[in-house]
A and B are shown apart, each in its own frame.
Chain A
Amino acid sequence: MKKLSKLLLTLSFVLSITSSAFAVTVASWGGAYTESQKLGYGDPTAKKLGIEINWVDYSGGLSEVKAQQEAGAVVWDIMDVFAMDTITGCDEGIFVEFDFDKDFPAAPDGTPASKDFFTSMPSKCAVGNILYSWNYAYNSDNVKGTPKTIKDFFNTKKFPGKRAIYKSALTNLEIALAASGTKPGKGGANIYKALGTEKGVQKAMDKIKKLCTDPKGGCVFWSAGAQPPELLMSGEVVMATGWNGRFFNATVGEGAPIVQVWDAQGLDYEYFALVKGGPDEANAKKALAMMTNTEMLAGSAKYIAYAPWRKSSIEVMKAGEPWYKDGKTNMVPHMPTAPANTKNYFLVDPIFWADNGTELGEKWEAMKAGL
């Protein structure tokens, strides 16, 4: 008994050492996405810097890290977060503020980091890693004709059948407005201007309501990213909004007859943030700078169809095509940022949603309850 307890004690001591020191812990979303991060830039960075990088899964939101800080035992160094969370986290002092051009390396051609990234950061605590798209896709076996525009998504006369849309208001209101004729304008400014008014919100809600109550249409609400391709493949819906990486995996990875439509796509971002008071802040900062440099960011696009944030990373990919891990698929045309895909798009506005998320969420739920 004594021996056993001694052994346990030693073991726990050893474990606590190995897990607390000499390792940087990154909290991310898990699944194929974390896999792409780990293989694309996590492991190479760890090897170069000679530190260990651990990846842990979490399901989003700041509640866990806030609880860790309140308890005085922060276990994460870096977090992969939405734009809205970087703003809230920065405001609440959860994350470290960056001196962007000093903390992050310039592009190979000397362009400073702040100019190399696709757009500016929503807060001082954020550094971008990927851009993904909220677009829609259809199953070519079940749809007669070819939907091309966002209007076609709402056109149940021409393309009858159920649609799958995201369970909350985010991006649904935007595409509803775009489909009712609002031109997104630069980065979607017009859409958000319209959504700032009662009338605009009502118009968007009505558009969704019409689609969902239409006997020829109807809605299925999805909550997990794996659902849209699944719903399309099973024939449960004819069109679905979703994340482009998931559609890409279904088409290229699994050979499903799924076609993506990029008209009025919503470009959204993922960011890294450095947790204040994390177990190994100094190493975490070093690792973060390396993981987000040109070479490394391009690495993750080998494994998933999300675009690296840096413009210079795209150049690296172009030079290295076929970039996809199967060795025969060109990756650049599948990027949400490819010129052919960004003819008509909006940038999901985190500040708008940080401001109005709760109220619009309530209105959205009230609308859904009346369906």
Chain B
Amino acid sequence: MSSEKQKILTTDGIPLEVSLKKAEKKNKIKAFLLVCPLLLFLIITYVFPIGDMLYRSVDDRMVTNMLPKTYKAMEQWDGKDLPEEEVFEAFYLDYKKLVEEKTFGKLATQLNFEKNGFKSILKKLKRKMKKFEEGNYKEQIMEVHKRWANVEYWRALKRRAPSYTYAKYLKGIDMYENEDGNIVQVPEDRRIHKILWLRTLEVALFVTIFCFLMAYPIAHLLATLPMKYSNLLMICVLLPFWTSLLVRTASWMILLQQQGIVNDFFVMIGLVSDDNRPEMMYNKTGTYVAMTQILLPFMVLPLYSVMKTISPSLMRAGKSLGGTPFVAFWKVYFPLTIPGIGAGCLLVFILAIGYYITPALVGGASGTLISNQIAFHMKSTLDWSFASAMGLMLLAGVLAIYWVYNKLVGVDNIKLG
């Protein structure tokens, strides 16, 4: 039937369908071109770096390619006792080539990440190797330093054999794969990352809760006060927001330290005795206080923008229908503010989880968070693949929280204004 139907033609004789499609196509291209800069921007600044990080965290081809003979010889080795002569010989030949090419330093750095102490024995080997005689390399190498006779170092070497590896992720949760292929925990006195993850989560969670408890009344006041007061209050909220982060952190240090202004005041009014001043800085209390104050505007602003749109007559209607003020608030007002709460909490939580300058300055012994560890490996040890792995784990954590939030509340329910 449709095929029989006469095709509708435009004035220039082209079927309408084709002409329409053409016009639409043009529009689509135009639309695409309009969003193109943003898309490119996102790809270049967001998708590409994250992809690169992911790749870095699993890519271990460098070490594999540097020691081809060694790893081939090691295939037969079970990892129990010291490897045989042929492994030593293969390693010697590989390493000699690296020394000639002057790239052995990179290998030393990489292997030192796997097992501490590798760097110096590789360097010592480089110095002593010039006088090596042919044959019996096992003995000659072991002669250089006693660590070469320690099977742990050869196991560490073997662990770096695969071209792609998830070892860095295991390390991020204090685990490693031992020579039998089992995933086990690292020795107790080195389990640090798990503590840091939990501490980071704890700090972020509590800061979010404190921010919420403090921001809700403030936002409510802001939304309900007459313009002339609410403007003033708004400035009070925004002013610290515009002040430098370091200045605010330092001010809290001055206020809260044991010889600080707040403690001086407590002593003056006789609340505490002079030699028994409470510690409010360089511990968790200090971290919570400073971070809550710094992140407060991120909670106040979304809450305010949502509360502003709630008509005051709704509360009045609730009360006139017989609800007590609390019931009216809980049944009518509070549910309407949930989109703002969601937005504020997510915002504060995500900012708090990656925070590190403030906890590092005011946190004392317990001030190190996972982000400090990432920065440490990024800047000091140059173990970028480990830093990338931890960064991605942090990102995955944030996404997981976002997912849970989506399941519980729904992302459509977020409102920033």
Contacts and interface: CB of A to CB of B under 8 A. Distances in A.
Contact of B380 (A61, A92, A93, A360): A61
Given A62-B382, A351-B120, A354-B119, A220 B368 contact: no
Contact of A362 (B190, B364, B380): B190
Contacts of B196: 365
Contact of B365 (A219, A234, A356): A219
B388 interface: no
Contact of A368 (B282, B361, B365): B365
Interface in A254-305: none
Contacts, number: 107
B365 A212 contact: yes
Given A221-B367, A362-B192, A61 B105 contact: no
Interface string B68-80: 0000000000000
Most buried by B among A162, A221, A371: A221
B365 A358 contact: no
What is the interface of chain A mostly: helix, strand, loop, or mixed?
helix
A361 interface: yes
B93 interface: no
A82 B116 CA distance: 20
Interface string A217-234: 001110110000000001
Interface stretch (B27-35, B223-231, B252-260, B306-314): B252-260
Given A63-B379, A355-B117, A365-B368, A234 B109 contact: no
Interface in A27-81: 59-63, 66
Given A63-B382, A88-B109, A369 B366 contact: yes
A212 B189 CA distance: 18
Contacts of B360: 167, 223
A359 B259 contact: no
A89 to B, nearest CB: 9
A220 B282 contact: yes
Contact of B364 (A62, A221, A351, A366): A221
Interface of B: 102-106, 108-109, 112-113, 116-120, 188-192, 195-196, 199, 254, 257-260, 282, 360-361, 364-368, 373, 376, 378-384
Given A234-B259, A369-B195, 4 more contacts: A61-B379, A167-B360, A212-B365, A361-B376
Interface of A: 59-63, 66, 84, 88, 90-93, 162, 167, 212, 219-221, 223-224, 234-236, 351, 354-363, 365-369, 371
22 contacts: A60-B379, A61-B380, A63-B378, A88-B105, A90-B105, A91-B109, A93-B103, A93-B105, A167-B360, A167-B368, A221-B364, A223-B361, A236-B259, A236-B260, A351-B120, A355-B118, A356-B117, A358-B112, A359-B116, A361-B376, A366-B195, A369-B365
